[in-house]
Every structure is written in C-alpha cells, then in structure tokens.
Structure 1
C-alpha cells in the first residue's frame, strides 16, 4: 500500500507495510503510481515495466528520464521499501491467543472536580454516577491487583486521574508510598503519573510530584478567552490566571521535560494553532492540543464542514514549528511526534493503547472498566479490585479489537500509526468498538502527514549542514 502527498514543497511517498518514507523528485513521484499496478500484477521484469510506462500517453518527461526514474522505483521495490507485502496480518491469529497481562491502571482517585469544563465527558468528575473520593483501602487493592495480574512484566504504570485528583491528595501520596513498598519484593517498578487542572497545585505538591511522578499532564486550552470559556469554575469565573503561573513553574522545575500541557480545541476555536503557539509563547516546550470529541448536538462539537479549516491549521502549525526551530525556539507538539526508525511494537501497531486488556480504569469504589472513557457504562463493567476481572467476554472482545477487525482501517495508510483509533470513540458514535470515529480519523491522517513532513524538513536541514 502506497500513500503519496505533497506538503510544504516536499513530495512524500509512504510505503505503508514496510514503514519506509521517501522524499522524491517530481518524476519519481509521478512514476510510482504507474509502476505500482504492474508490480502488484506480478510483473517484475524491468524492461517490460519500462515499455508499459512509456506506452502511456500524456507523460511530460523525456524517455531517458522516465527509464531512470523507473529504475529508481524498482530499486526501492527490490530493497523492500516500496510495494511491500503486509507482514502484520499473519500475526493476528497468535495475537488473539496471546496471554493477557495488565501493565497499567488509571486510578479515578476523585470523582469530583473544582471546575465545570463544558466539554467534560466525566460530567464534572461524576462519571454518570455520584461524587466520590477513592479510599486508601480501595487504591491499595488496585495496586495489589496490578502486581498480581502483571505476569513477568517489571515496569508498571499508574495514572492518578479524576475529576481532579488533587482533591484527594493525601490518598495519592499514601498510594505512591505503598506502591514503592511493593517494588522490591515483587520485582516491579512503578511509574506514576498525574493529570491535573492545577487549581490546587502548590509548592509542597510540586516537590512531591517532581520526586515521584514520571509525568504530569497539565490541563489548559490555550489563550485566556478560549480557556476561560470552556474551563470555568462552577460560578462561571475563568481559571487561566490561576493556573498559568503554576504551570510555568512546573515546566521549569522539571527542566521542560516529563510533562505536557494538554488542551482541547472545539468548534469555538477552529484557529487552534494560535492556542498552540500561545502556549509555546508562554514558555512551554511539551504541548498537546486535541480536537474535542462530542456529539453533533453539542454546540462546540467539531463538524464535518470544519475539517478543511482544521487541516489548514495543522499545516500552518507545522510550517511555523520549522521556522521556530531554526530560530532556536523549538517545542514539541505531541501529535506531530513520530518515530520512523523504531516505532511501536507489533501489538501496539495492531491494537493501540491496550484498553480492556493491558490497561484498565478503576473507580473510587474499585470497579474495573476498559478505560476511563467507559467508566459509568454498566455494559462495560468488567469486575472489581476484590474479584478481579470476571467478564472475560469483555476482555476478549477488546483483545480482538485491532486494525484488521475494522473495515475502515484495512485500506487506511495511517492504520499502523494510529492503531485503529480510540475504542471508546468508536462505541460512542457507532455502538461497537470495531468501527471508527470518522472526524477523528480525518484529523489523525492529517496529523500523521504533517509529522512526516516535519521529519522530511529535519532530514533536509541536516543534509545542508
């Protein structure tokens, strides 16, 4: 499978199955779609392919240049870097039979929040239920469950999530201490993370976070007027002025690493690149601003007609990032970060985040769900920290959720980068986890194109030095 596109002056060719990416000149770019169907039909003889291409009308290149370009295309094919076969589909049978181990938990330490974000899927932290704080006893059982169900895996992850986890800070600290006590006797290593809106952040909390948390996610939507419209207190007043200085202090105290500011853009700020750049201008180097996922009836939902505007915004952002890097003002945009050399393992490429299998969410009272976005939907209640997973059917359904189980993914060039997208979004829009959220897919494909263009620009700059 080949995907070709032009971006910021680069002719980019992706060979989806091999993962190879090429920046080529105009004639090679134009020859590839002419050669591909011939190779796909099993024609391997170079002279036959050249003759077939030369017989095609309306090719605006001299014969000698055409034959040279076809030779270049065929050399890449021989090297396995163009028109490569799909080697991953053969893994599916074994993939479905693999032993399930749990490697990560999302602990809903607080089903309560001190903000009233308009787009919050957690309903101000309540998750379609009641306000509650996780007790140390429930959290302790959750960590015991994780250790007991992690098999031989050493590195385990626990994210303190909400609502707003700082509303239950004492229990967070107790659970980190308990987790550390489990490490040596069980040959485990916990990586704790925290997602916070920052309202309750103070120096004492920051000192603990910097000592114990591998990562911290700081929620802010960008410009003051955008943030305060979508992330107000319950009384309507904005949160921007309170959190910005705190977040700047966090970023600097962590040497601009192992954190990111995470925002959400909506129909209200389709010019979201300005929000990303605003955060960069505030001094943040690790930035994520993502499209809202909302029902079409919500006035802030992203609409189909918004997609062309948003694609232009991603292009503008990518070009500006190249400019700023040259000026010594580089920053990372989470959705443009891509690894073309190593990349994720086969399991990650095929099934993504591991929700419902390797990754589970735990409610304040100890119920287990496939991930935080399924919490509160009783159809996906898998068990609890006392009984463990009792709904093997749910786990097996998620285990079989992969890019080959989704018709929309099979012919999509982005499938090995997005790994089939979010199961919760699929369920919320289509009623099953093996579909895909179409608007999200469109934007994901654009982000991947921009990410690869940035790599092309990086390579071009390195070659000029």
Structure 2
C-alpha cells in the first residue's frame, strides 16, 4: 500500500507496510503513482519486464523514455530492498495478540470524582462521571496498587496516573499511595512510573516539590489564550482560571527543566484557529505541548463537525510551518501529535491493537470498580470487576483484545493505521455503539497530522543537509 501527497513543496511517498518514507522529485512521484494505479501489488519481476516501461511511456508522455527508465530502475531497487510496494506481514500477528493473557501494566486512578472547575466540554461532568462525587480512600488506592502488582506478570515497569476530576483535591491520598508504591517496588522488584494530570488550581510549592521528586510526567491542563481558556475552563462561579494557573504552570515547567511534562489543551469549534493557542503556549515559555480536538455530540455548540475539517487542516499546516521556522532558529518545541518515529516506532502489538485499554490499561473509580479506561467509567456495560474481586468479566478484556486495525474495515484501507493503531475505542463506541469502528472526524485529523509530521521531518532533514 502506497500513500502519496504533496506538502510544503515536498513530494512525499509513504510505503505503509514498511513505514519507509521517500522524498522524491516530480517524475519519480508520478512514476510511483502510475505503477500503483496499474498494479498495486508489484514484484521486482513485473517491474523489470519491458511491458512495465512501455506502460509508463504511454501513461506519462510528458517525460523522456530514458528518464522514465532510470526512475523505474531506482524504484525496482527500492522494491528489492523492502522499502516500496511491500506486503502486509502484520495481519499474521493478530491471533497471537488475541491469545495473550491479560497482563496489566497501567492504572488510571480516579483519585477524585470531584473538581474545582466547571469546564464546558468536560466528559466527566465536573468529575462525577455519571455517578456521585467521591474521593478515593487510601485503602482503595492501596488495593488498586496490589491488584496491579498481582496482575502484572513478569513486567517490572508499571504505570499509575493520578486522575480526576481534579486529583489535587485528594492530595494527601496521592502522597500516601506514592509512598505505598515505593514499598511495593522494594518488596516485589517492580518500578512504578507515577504521573499526574492537574488543572493547577491547587498547585503550590509543596505540591511542586513532591511532583518533581516522585512524578515521571505531569499533564497540565490549559486551553491556550486567556480568552479561550476562561470561556471553556471557568470556575463554577463563572470567573476565569487563566490568571491563577498560568504562573504556577510556568514555574513547574521551569523547575522540571522543560522536560517530563505536557501543557495540554482542548480546541473546540469556538477556537478553530488553535495554532494560535499552540504558539501562545510557546510565547509563555512552554516547550512540551499538546492540544486535542474536543469530542462532543453534534448538538453541542462547541463540537467539531465534518464541515470544520478544511479549516482544521489549514491550522495543522500553519502549525507545521511554525515548528519548522522555530526549529531552524534553534527555538524548537515539541507538539505531541507531530511526534513520529520513522526508524523504530511502536512494537507490532502496539501498532495493531492501540493503547491497551481493557487489557493492559484499566481505570479505577474512587470506590474500586475497574473499567477499560477513564472514558468508559460509569457505563455499567463495561464494569470489569473491582480491586477486591479482580476481573470478574474477562469477556470484556477479550472483546478489547480482539479489537485491532484489522477488525475495523476503515482501518484496513487507511495509510495511517500503524500510527494511530485504530484510534480511540471509546470514541468509536460513543458514535457507533461498537469498539470495532472509528470516529470518522478524528480519523481525518489523524491522517492530516501524520502527513504534517512526516513533512516536518523532511524539511528539517533538508535544512540540516543545507547547513552541512
């Protein structure tokens, strides 16, 4: 499978199955497109036959036969090297992935089903998650960590995210659970990687010191420019949160040497010019940045619609150009959705099955219920068990384990499938009532982000070559 596109003046060819990326001139771009149209399953033998060259001469009369012959020879070498027109070898791994025993490596601890903000788009209903306000007790949290260790098999590295609502509203329990985790590390030869997601309202010097000592990563929620953030992330009384939290986030980012954190925003239909919000983060001094599209019902005024996609694509292009400009000036920053590994990438299982929700990754409510991930919390159909009983409905894990880029017909035809691994299963369920589908609007954005990410790599490599 081949994907070709032009962006920022570059002719880019992606061989989907091998992950090989080729930046080519116009004649090579046209030859590869022609070969793909004529016969997408090429072998070296068919490429080297005289009929192939004659077919190119007829299909591309604007190019001299000698030049077409040279390009065809180069393409043939790439095919022989396994870098173009490669076969899909990954589907054979699906049965192996399905048969894997559930080995949990990560928990999302809902340390507080409560929040001190009233974000307009919050899927968690100000922390309530379709249920009741509550905070996790140390006892439930310790049982969750015990469950993780017990079900982690031979995995040494385990992950725990303190989530909410707002986890700092139950800060004492967070600290107690981190201390308990460190005890378990010594007892069972495990290593906990703790992370925290916070809106920053209760962030102070004591919290910052502890976070820097114990948390491997911190997610800081801010929706960009002051007017955008205060409209979407107000306090319950309607006042804005920007002025309070921005200085705290700046201090925390600096105290972590601009590493191991993300400033994370959400863009909606009300700020489709979100590239300006990203650059606002940069102006504030942040270097690790993420901004996610909101997911909402069509009836929600802030929800992104299919008709918004052209504008969103323009914003991703504008952001990509800014990133190239800043990187060339030595002022580069990271944007989560443009981070792409063209050499290694995720393991095969990750490419095929995604985030691991329902199998490797589970969410825990304040009272100890287990769900496939935080977005399923409160939906009894996905209640998998409890920290006391363990997983009592293994069929749910089995259903999530069977979900892959090959169980979704849309993914089979998509060039970006090995980068997004099939997309968010919760969004699929939200819009199609099955985890074996995709949220189409999100898919369109993901394809655009992959194209921009690859183009950025090409532009920066081009710049480095010019500088050498």
The TM tier, using the shorter chain, reads over 0.9
The 10-residue stretch of structure 1 (375-384 or 453-462) with the greater mean CA deviation from structure 2 = 453-462
Following superposition, the deviation at residue 39 of structure 1 comes to 6.1
Q: Describe the SS at the equivalent of 1:114.
A: coil
Cα distance in 1 between the residues matched to 2:104 and 2:35: 46
In the other structure, the counterpart of 2:435 is 433
> What residue in structure 2 maps to residue 370 of structure 1?
372
Alignment of 1:68-83 (within 5 A): 68-83=70-85
Q: How far 1:328 sits from its partner (Å)?
A: 2.1
Partner residue, 2:21:
21
Q: CA deviation at 1:462?
A: 1.8
1:40 maps to: 41
Distance 1:59 1:415 in 2: 35
Q: TM-score, normalised by structure 1?
A: 0.99
How far, CA to CA, are the matches of 1:55 and 1:311 in structure 2? 36
The answer to whether the 8 Å contact 2:47/2:72 transfers is: no
Q: Work out whether residues 48 and 76 of structure 2, in 8 Å CA contact, stay in contact via their aligned partners in 1.
A: no
* Contact kept in structure 2, 1:425 and 1:436, CA below 8 Å: yes
Q: Map 1:395-434 to 2 at 5 A.
A: 395-434=397-436
Match of 2:101 in 1: 99
* 2-structure distance, mates of 1:71, 1:39: 17
Aligned-pair distance for 1:59? 3.0
Q: Deviations over 1:332-363 (max 9, x none)?
A: 00100000001000111001100000000000
Q: Distance in 1 between matches of 2:89 and 2:214?
A: 41
Q: What is the aligned counterpart of 2:159 among 151, 157, 160? A: 157
The one of 147, 150, 159 aligned to 1:148: 150
Task: Tell whether the 8 Å contact from 1:38 to 1:49 is kept in structure 2 after alignment.
Answer: no
**Deviation for aligned residue 1:75:** 1.2
- Give the Cα–Cα distance (whole angstroms) in 2 for the partners of residues 89 and 148 of structure 1: 31
The equivalent of 1:275 in structure 2 is: 277
| Counterpart Cα distance in 2 of 1:305 and 1:96 | 37
8 Å Cα contact 2:408/2:437 also seen in 1: yes
In structure 2, what is the Cα distance between the partners aligned to 1:178 and 1:94? 35
TM-score of the aligned structures, taking structure 2 as reference length: 0.98
* 1:206-225 equivalence runs, <5 A: 206-225=208-227
Measure, in 2, the Cα distance between the counterparts of 1:34 and 1:251: 50
Identify the range of structure 1 (407-416 vs 68-77) with the bigger mean alpha-carbon deviation: 68-77
Cα distance in 1 between the residues matched to 2:165 and 2:254: 26
Partner of residue 355, structure 1: 357
Contact (CA 8 Å) 1:35, 1:70: kept in 2 or not?
A: no
Q: Could you say what secondary structure the match of 2:295 adopts?
A: coil
2: CA distance between counterparts of 1:297 and 1:347? 37
Q: What secondary structure is seen at the aligned counterpart in 2 of 1:206?
A: helix
RMSD: 0.9
Aligned residue pair count: 464
| In 1: Cα distance, 2:81 partner to 2:325 partner | 34
Aligned to 1:31: 31
| Aligned residue runs from structure 1 range 146-225, under 5 A | 146-225=148-227
Provide the C-alpha distance between the structure 2 equivalents of 1:247 and 1:430, rounded to a whole number of angstroms: 37
Q: Which residue of 2 aligns with 1:318?
A: 320
Aligned to 1:265: 267
Identify which range, 453-462 or 385-394, moves more after superposition: 453-462
**Range with greater deviation from structure 2 (29-38 or 400-409):** 29-38
CA drift of 1:82 comes to 0.5
Q: What is the aligned partner in structure 2 of residue 385 from structure 1?
A: 387
- Measure, in 2, the Cα distance between the counterparts of 1:371 and 1:53: 51
**In 2: Cα distance, 1:85 partner to 1:112 partner:** 50
State the Cα distance separating 1:65 from its structure 2 match: 1.1
Q: Structure 1 stretches of 5 or more lacking a match? A: none
Q: Is the 8 A contact 1:46 1:74 kept in 2?
A: no
2:21 is paired with a residue whose SS is strand
2:292 aligned counterpart, secondary structure: strand
Say if 2:128 and 2:165, in contact at 8 Å, map to a contact too.
yes
Partners of 1:52 and 1:61 lie apart in 2 by 13
Instruction: Write out per-residue CA displacement over residues 350-385 of structure 1, whole angstroms, 9 at most, x where no aligned residue.
Output: 011000000000000000000000000000000000
Moved over 3 A (4+): none
The answer for the alignment partner of 1:49 in structure 2 is 52
Instruction: Report the Cα distance in structure 2 between the residues aligned to 1:38 and 1:217, rounded to whole angstroms.
Output: 47
What do residues 105-126 of structure 1 show as CA deviations (whole Å, max 9, x unaligned)?
A: 0000000000000000000000
SS of 1:144's equivalent? helix
1:301 paired to 2:303: yes
Q: Give the structure 1 partner of residue 234 of structure 2.
A: 232
Is contact 2:57-2:63 (8 Å) kept? no
Match of 2:346 among 341, 344, 347: 344
Match of 1:250 among 241, 249, 252: 252
SS where residue 152 of structure 1 aligns?
Answer: coil
What SS class does the counterpart of residue 27 from structure 2 fall into? helix
The offset of 1:244, in angstroms, is: 0.4
